[in-house]
Structure 1
Amino acid sequence: MQPRVFISSTYYDLKYVRESIEQFIESYGFDPVLFESGRVTFEHGRSLDTSCYQEVDSCHIMILIIGGRYGSATSQQEQNIDYEKYDAEYTSITKGEFETAAQNNIPVFIFIDKNVYAEYQTYKQNITLFNKIIKENNSFKFAHVDSINIFKFIQEVSKRPIKTFERVEEIIEYLRSQFSGMFYLYLNKMRTEPSNKTILNSVNELNTVTSKINSIVEALGRKMIDQEELKQIEDQYFKTIIDVFLDQFSSHVAYAIQKKTTKANIKRMSDKLASILIEDILIFDYTKTNDYESYSNQINEILLTKVKEQIPNLIIKDFAYFWINSTFFDKINPLIVSDERKQELHSLLSERIRKDLEYRVLE
């Protein structure tokens, strides 16, 4: 049996991205499901989107790619949509596919075009103004999106881990890391559960999944993993988890700088803020309180005070502390097993803050 991977996106604007990902999925021995490749079974008398939703339900993984086009409405809504209206609200087929995957607990890897995500951040921080402008004058347009429904869609999927991209190679590299990490977790679970030792004896049967992990599979067949290979996988898994966390971090924080500054000053501010977050803010154990609102307000106050004292030119406009803290404490903190890891976290967090600040201040 091959894992089936459903690739969901609009077609014409992302045609070549879909083709590249299809080839990548096939190289792993998985079965990519795309309607243009004849992998979706269309039943007589059923609409195209209904057939797609049924196919989603039979898949093991979904890859969702969001670009600048929102796409056509579902068959239930299509006749009632005025596509000329920029703010016409409706559910697209792509959104319907995602909702089907979510309802059926299918893992979804979400990728958003970096330019589209940047415009989403602008929209999110000025949503009242944009809604007023669009309502009064429908001629307003964003540069990279054809409907504000895209922003609402992004807002919905942002509750999950997302990854922005500029080139299809970034998607492929991310998926490669994710597949490796998922396989590592599975194998590690098999090693730590005595009742499943018999499964380890047949793990070599999985070597058709990918040649990239053949050496690890063979080692597992001998009931051992070379420590250097294991370290490489753990390091890659750590970077992947951090990358996902930082994408979410960026969407849960809003900054402002009181006056114009230089890139060098932004770098210093980023380093300092990363240190404050790692040493003084993210370390709190959220599980020890039941009053999450008071807890978040208290820690936010500590953060604002430290930033005011140590980085006076920086203003934290919005900081979704509870989400950031709980995600960090549950997912990241257990992986910080050495000073080297802690330093790497600091470098990656500082670099992400720097990029976010430069985008908002120097654009």
Structure 2
Amino acid sequence: MASPKVFISSTCYDLRYIRENLKYFIRTLGYEPVLSEDGDVFYNPRGHTHDSCLEEIPNCQIFVLIIGGRYGGKFKETDHSITNAEYKEAVKLKIPIFTLVEQGVYSDHNVYTKNKKNDTVDYSKIIYPSSDNNMIFEFIDEVRKNTINNAIVPFRNFADIEDYLRKQWAGMMYSFLSNQNEEDRLIDTLSMLGTMNERIELLSKEILNSVGSNDSKITVKLYEEMLANECIRDLSFWKIKPSPAAILNNETVEKLVAYYGKSIKVNKDKGESITGVISGVGELSSMKYDKIVKCYNDIREFIISYLGENNINIEEYIEKHKEDTL
């Protein structure tokens, strides 16, 4: 069974104990940690090792960024760090990012921010107790200035990281399930509304034009039977919504479809795999075609029989409802 892969991005040396604890924590959740020092990254002999790290990120579903006091080695031919390059790749791929900053570095960043625009202080010469490079602060600013995926949380020890990630990932799962349930409810609602709209569209004309008349009651009954007929439902998918009079006026489904300016194509070579389409570009399997023909004949016979039971002449009914066939 597939499990989410979590890419852990940080400088390796000053945060080794954090990375080791993260590895075991992630495994206890049933997820798969990806750490460069554990051989989880394939280092292609034909490429640079830095590129190999970036190429592994698209295979991951979660990205954990830990920012400590060491800026780390620079990414090939650039001024930013390898960790920064990994972060940029995760942003580009829109992978969920969870950023944590060591508490001392977080405090140093606050001092850096307050003095950066102070003309009386050369902020570049300030020595920070927990950070070895001002570019760490610029990295933090880069994360914070993103319009999305930009949460930053300080940590004092691994317990803080574990507590934060446990809550965040539980929230992420809750959000996913809630959105999925909401989507399913929306689909059900739209389906119900679509069915209701179809019934209203087919019945409203008769009801509004002759409320209470015996003819309208009979026509409503015919429409109800038609709506329950699979052939009529299939035809409605291709914008063919026949009236009882139109069905009476067309002895076969081919004639009915042609009356509405469309055609049926039957492909007898493709067997049962084709689901069936009525259009200028689609085809019907033989099985689907036979089923539609039978259903159409059944509903037409019902209409004729029902009108006969109510002593209604078919020709007179067609004449009276000829406008419905347009």
Alignment of 1:290-329 (within 5 A): none
Residue 174 of structure 1 corresponds to which residue in structure 2? 164
Residue 149 of structure 1 corresponds to which residue in structure 2? 135
Corresponding letter in the other structure for 2:19: R
Structure 1 distance, partners of 2:21, 2:138, is: 27
Residue 177 of structure 2 corresponds to which residue in structure 1? 187
Structure 2 distance, partners of 1:118, 1:196, is: 47
Residue 22 of structure 2 corresponds to which residue in structure 1? 21
Structure 1 distance, partners of 2:120, 2:48, is: 33
Structure 2 distance, partners of 1:183, 1:57, is: 20
Residue 118 of structure 1 corresponds to which residue in structure 2? 107
Alignment of 1:24-39 (within 5 A): 24-39=25-40
SS, match of residue 110 in structure 1: strand
SS, match of residue 2 in structure 1: coil
CA contact (8 A) 1:190 1:196 kept: no
* Count, aligned residues: 183
Corresponding letter in the other structure for 2:144: S
Corresponding letter in the other structure for 2:110: Q
Structure 2 distance, partners of 1:130, 1:19, is: 43
Corresponding letter in the other structure for 2:114: Q
Provide, for residues 290-343 of structure 1, a one-character-per-residue CA deviation record: whole Å limited to 9, x for no partner.
xxxxxxxxxxxxxxxxxxxxxxxxxxxxxxxxxxxxxxxxxxxxxxxxxxxxxx
Query: 1:55 deviation in Å?
Result: 0.7
- Specify whether residues 134 and 174 from structure 1 end up closer, same or farther in structure 2 by C-alpha distance, changes over 3 A only: closer
Residue 5 of structure 1 corresponds to which residue in structure 2? 6
Residue identity over aligned pairs, in percent, reads: 37
Corresponding letter in the other structure for 1:9: S
Query: 1:99 deviation in Å?
Result: 0.3
Query: 1:132 deviation in Å?
Result: 5.8
Alignment of 1:100-119 (within 5 A): 100-119=89-108
CA contact (8 A) 2:116 2:123 kept: no
Structure 1 distance, partners of 2:140, 2:174, is: 30
Unmatched runs of 5 consecutive residues or more in structure 1: 78-89, 199-363
RMSD over equivalenced CA pairs, Å: 2.2
- Specify whether residues 44 and 163 from structure 1 end up closer, same or farther in structure 2 by C-alpha distance, changes over 3 A only: same
Query: 1:49 deviation in Å?
Result: 1.1
Unmatched runs of 5 consecutive residues or more in structure 2: 189-326
Query: 1:130 deviation in Å?
Result: 8.4
Structure number with the higher helix fraction is 1
CA contact (8 A) 2:112 2:123 kept: no
Structure 1 distance, partners of 2:131, 2:119, is: 14
Structure 1 distance, partners of 2:48, 2:166, is: 34
SS, match of residue 22 in structure 1: helix
Whether 2:144 is the aligned partner of 1:158: answer yes
- Specify whether residues 131 and 109 from structure 1 end up closer, same or farther in structure 2 by C-alpha distance, changes over 3 A only: farther
Question: TM-score under structure 1 normalisation?
Answer: 0.48
